[in-house]
Every structure is written in structure tokens, then in C-alpha cells.
Structure 1
Amino acid sequence: MLTPILAYLLSVLLLCRIAFSQYSSDQCSWRGSGLTHEGHTRDVEQVYLRCSQGSLEWLYPTGAVIVNLRPNTLSPAASRLSVCIKPSADSHGTNIYLDRAGKLRLLLPEPDQALGKVTCFGVQEGALFIEAIPHRDISRRITSFQYELVSERTGAGMDLRSLSAPCQPCTDAEVLLAACTSDFVGRGSIRGVEQEVEKSSVTVAISRLYKQKTQVFAPGGVRARRWTGKVRIPRQCGVKSGPGEGEFLFTGSIRFGEAWMGCAPRYKDFLRVYRDAEHGGTNPCHVDTD
């Protein structure tokens, strides 16, 4: 038979094990359970995430969770970042708000989460306030999404509701910066365009690949030294050029596993801008244009 002290210690260890098994967190992702709020359905939990990308999964949601998404840096550029979130197809059980100084703005109601649409907002607009919708049976309810911190231009390009000019052409300075800082940069031409519900998928053939963060473009053969791949753009922007209409400098970012177009000037226009900057000593990086 267990002594009272040993029984007490075992019960404490068991409670600690249950508590830690109900949630886990690091600086990038959080996984929690509403079972920790059982009997306290109005509890509000604070979560702090400080990575450029990660995820959240809340099982059996009850009460509310406030998610503070902040870059792990204090540079002035950090204040100009956007947060993009992409709910999973089976995410439900909560409404997601933006909380700024106690004022809530509905960002993603429960029915919209199942659409899996990427939604973005400025990092300075507030924290995420995720409120559980009261249900008698919470056993089948899970709220989950991925998030990424992105630059203003990229974040705007993915959430058409939050920008004033989604299809505005890049300035010369933006073109030069895109050639230096984008996730992928390549010289090539358009092969075809497919229209989808909220985006267009552009098939491009790359004759010279400067860089790619992940394999957006797959090689088409050793001898040919060409690459092909698909790049997305917002459907509202349309594609102003089609197959056989010359070469472009394609730049862009990888978001949630998809390649999204950034600046895409005609290659001859990029050459003019780049050479002018090179002669003036204002080009932000070197690009091998030979």
C-alpha cells in the first residue's frame, strides 16, 4: 500500500504529465488543448510566437487564446512586415479576430476557415484573438493554421482585401531590390496561363536561373539547361503578356509551398535599369547579365 506522501507525489507527477501533454510550445509553433480550460470556459491564454513561420493547433477549443506574432528582431523594417495565415481545410470551432488595444475586428469567421484561403494583416495591426464557439460536444473540433511573416509587397499580393493597389507595377528601385532579395530569380518566358478561382497559374520556361530558395523550377534536361515551373499571381491582376512575347525577369517569394510572382519586368527593361544603377553606383547587388 502506498504511503500518503508517496501517493501525493505520484498524483502531482500525474497531473504535471497531463498538463504538459495538453499543450506544447516553442518560439515558432504552439499546440494546445481546451481541456486545460475545463470548468473555466472563459479562460484566456496568452501565446507568444517569434519566428518567421510556424503553426498553431488548438484541440477541443474552449475559452480563448491570444496569439502574439512578432519577429525576433527590433529593426525598423520589422514594423513593416505582414502576417499571413492559412487555415487547414478541417479548421473549425472558433472565430478568429484581430485584437488591438482591446478592440476586436473579425478576421476569419468559422465558415471561412475551411476554405483554406490565405489572409494577411500588418504586424502592427494587433494580435490574433481566437475565441472558441460554445458547443456541447467539442471532441471533433480543432482550429489549426500555418503562419508566415512576409514583406509588405508580398503579403499584400496574397490578400487582395488588404491592399489598395494589388497590381501596381514595380518601380525601378523595387525591381533592383527584387533581383537581390527574392526567393527565386530567373530570366525566361511565359508558356501558358491557367485561370483558377482566386489566382492565375503561369507556366514559365527559364533560360537562366539565378537562384531559387526551393525547387520552384525543375530542370528540363542537362543539355538544354532550361527549367520550367508554375508561378501564381492574383487573378484580378491578370497576365498582360502571353506565350511568345519576349523574355522577362521573374522574381517572387515562396509562401506556404507555392511560388508567388513579385516584380516581373521585361528583361530588356531590367537591363536598362540595372545598367543605369551600375553606372551610378546605386545597384544593391551584382547580377551577372552577361
Structure 2
Amino acid sequence: MKDSRGANIYLEKLGELKLLVREQEPSRVYCFGIEEGSLFIEATPQSDISRKITAFQYELLSQRSSADLRSMAAPCQPCSDSEVLLAVCTSDFAARGTIRGVEHEKDQDASLIAVSLSRLYQQKSRVFASVGGRARRWVGHVRTLLECGVKPGEGEFLFTGSIRFGEAWLGCAPRYKDFLRLYSEARQLGTNPCQVDTD
């Protein structure tokens, strides 16, 4: 859930309300499961009598990949070999590229990673913009939790992850050379879950 305006939003369970989003709070993503309760929306008092509209964005997820489950349970841990191979096939985005910079947003509990991509394998939404003519490149940003302590790193990475509320969130991100070795071994054994053009 993100971008609540004009109301306070609570989780209601067994007659008790737990404040989830206060109207004055900055734009932020909140995640919760169905077992935590139902949404309860309370309009905030207004000083004028004009008609007000309450709006918020939400996303319902019914199935999660193993990489998504891993990122929820241990968001800063490296992915296993099988998770990396599955992530390149099933993630909302998968790309080869470098880190241009990292900005830590303490108020959002997130880090914003500026990336430059030399290869875009897939993206479900246009979160990465094409720049350049002959040598196609893409640029954009990928978010991750602040607690992961991401720092700018040298070399190329395979970036995979999910798109939430129009923003790319990091899933698995091994060094590209490590992914190539892993993918090559899986191809030889016939255990790769999909074909990836690594040329």
C-alpha cells in the first residue's frame, strides 16, 4: 500500500484497530498479509466543507517466487545458485549492468541504486529508460532496504527483482561473471529453468 491521502488507514483484527498509515506521513510502502487483518479506512477531519476524495494505491500478491520469499525472510542475504537461475527467468525485471551510484533514503528506510544497463533481458513495466542510439543502453533506479547497506561496486552485475508500485526492487544481484559460470554449468547439466542469451 502506498500514497494514502485524506484518510488514516488501519488494520482491523478481532475488533481492534492498529494504525498502519497516517495521512500526514510521507509516501511510503507498507506490506502486510491477510492474516494480519482487514483494512479499515477513517476519513480525516477537514476544515472546509468541500467534497474530499480519499485515494491510496494497493497491490495484491497471491503467489511469490522463491526469490521473493527469500527476500522477505532474509532480504539482505545473497541468493542461492538455484534462486539466481530461477530469478533470471521469473523476475519482473532481469538485466546486466553496473552501479553508477547509491543514495540512502533514511526517511524511506531504503537505498536507491542508480544503474546503467548494457543488456535488458526483461522488464514487465518500463522502469528502465533507453538511452543511446547504436549501442543500446538503459538507465534507471533499483530500490533495496536501507539495512542491506548497499555500496557502489566495481564490475558488472545481474540485477533481478520485482516491480512494486512502479518502482524496481532488488531481488538477486550476483556479479555477472558468477552468473555466467553458474548458467553455463546448469546448461551443461540440463538444469537451467530457461534459456538466456548471454552473448
TM-score tier by shorter-chain length is 0.7 to 0.9
User: In 2, are the aligned partners of 1:91 and 1:145 still within 8 Å (CA)?
Assistant: no
Aligned to 1:188: 97
The whole-number CA distance in structure 1 between the counterparts of 2:198 and 2:44 is: 60
Structure 1: gaps of 5 or more residues: 1-84, 158-162
> Per chain length, whose mean CA-contact separation is higher, i.e. which structure has more relative contact order (CA < 8 Å, sep 6+)?
2
1:53-93 C-alpha deviation (Å, 9 max, x unpaired): xxxxxxxxxxxxxxxxxxxxxxxxxxxxxxxx1132x232x
Partner Cα distance (1:219, 1:126) in 2: 41
Aligned to 2:38: 128
* Residue aligning to 2:127: 216
After superposition, residues 228-267 of structure 1 pair within 5 angstroms as 228-242=139-153, 245-267=154-176
The aligned counterpart of 1:97 is 11
How far apart are 1:203 and its partner, in Å?
1.3
Structure 1 residues 98 and 174 mapped into 2: Cα distance closer, same or farther (>3 Å)? farther
Aligned alpha-carbon RMSD (Å): 2.9
* 1:94-135 deviations in Å (ceiling 9; x for gaps): 441143xx3646151535x63222111224x15423053796
Q: Percent identity?
A: 55
- Which segment is superposed worse, 102-111 or 265-274? 102-111
1:224 match: secondary structure: coil
Aligned pairs, how many? 193
- 1:1-290 aligned at under 5 Å gives the runs 85-88=1-4, 90-92=5-7, 94-99=8-13, 102=14, 104=16, 106-110=18-22, 114-123=25-34, 125-130=35-40, 132=42, 142-150=53-61, 151=64, 154=68, 163-197=72-106, 198-242=109-153, 245-290=154-199
Contact residue 101 and residue 152 of structure 2 kept, 8 A: no
Question: How far has the Cα of 1:236 moved from its partner?
Answer: 1.4
Question: Equivalents in 1 of 2:196, 2:119: separation in Å?
Answer: 12
Q: Secondary structure at the match of 2:32?
A: strand
SS of residue paired to 1:265: coil
Unmatched runs of 5 consecutive residues or more in structure 2? none
Structure 2 CA distance for aligned equivalents of residues 145 and 156 of structure 1: 27
Q: Is the 8 A contact 1:91 1:114 kept in 2?
A: no
Cα offset, 1:167, TM superposition: 0.8
1:240 Cα deviation (Å)? Answer: 4.2
Q: Read off the aligned partner of 1:149 and give its amino acid letter.
A: L
SS at match of 2:172: coil
State the TM-score, normalizing by the size of structure 2: 0.81
CA distance in 2, matches of 1:95, 1:207: 42
Deviation at 1:280, TM superposition (A): 2.1
Change beyond 3 A, Cα 1:105–1:278: farther
Contact 1:120 1:156 in 2 (8 A): no
Does the 8 Å contact 1:87/1:114 carry over to 2? no
**TM-score, length of structure 1 as denominator length:** 0.58
Provide closer, same or farther for how the CA distance between residues 260 and 145 of structure 1 changes in structure 2, counting only shifts above 3 A: same
Which secondary structure state, in structure 2, belongs to the residue aligned with residue 169 of structure 1? Answer: coil
